Structures are given as structure tokens and as C-alpha cells.
Amino acid sequence: MSINPEPTNVAASVDAILDELQDRPFSSMQAAIAMLRERTGTERSDADLKGLITKKAAVRGIQFFDENSSTAN
């Protein structure tokens, strides 16, 4: 049984998006997920992408506004 790899390196795409958002520290998480899906065509769940983005952003000190919550993520 083989697993089909994603056509694009999603983690590298997250890094590229975070590079672009470096000057806008309170960007929307939903906008970042949408941008990631548009660039990569990934079918990963929103929760998985949010986790990946959150972890990579935390290392860089970037915060995202979660539109479904009253606190920043």
C-alpha cells in the first residue's frame, strides 16, 4: 500500500507565506489557510493546516487572529 505524496511541499509553502506576512503580525488564520490551499492544492484538513501554520509561526514570533475565537492564535 503506497501513500500518494502531496504535489507540493506544504511545509515549505507555509514558510514562504510566513515570509510574506512578516510585516503583518495579526493576519487571519483563515486567510493563511486559504492562501496555502490555493498555492499547494492540499486536501489536508483545516485543523491540520492550522496546526502546521501555528507551529511554524510561533517559532518566528508571528501571531494570527482566529476569526472563530476572541483571542489571537
Quote the CA–CA distance of 63 and 29 in Å, as a whole number: 9
Q: Please answer whether residues 52 and 14 qualify as being in contact, where contact means their C-beta atoms are separated by less than 8 angstroms.
A: yes
Taking Cα atoms as reference points, which of 45, 46, 36 lies closest to residue 10? 36
**Top-confidence residue, 20 or 10:** 10
Phi (first) and psi of residue 22, to 5 degrees = -55, -35
Domain extents for the chain?
A: 10-65
Q: Helix axis angle, 29-40 relative to 10-21, nearest 10°?
A: 130
30 strand-pairing partners: none
Q: What pLDDT, on the 0 to 100 scale, is given for residue 37? A: 94
Q: Please answer whether residues 13 and 53 qualify as being in contact, where contact means their C-beta atoms are separated by less than 8 angstroms.
A: no
70, pLDDT greater than 50 = no
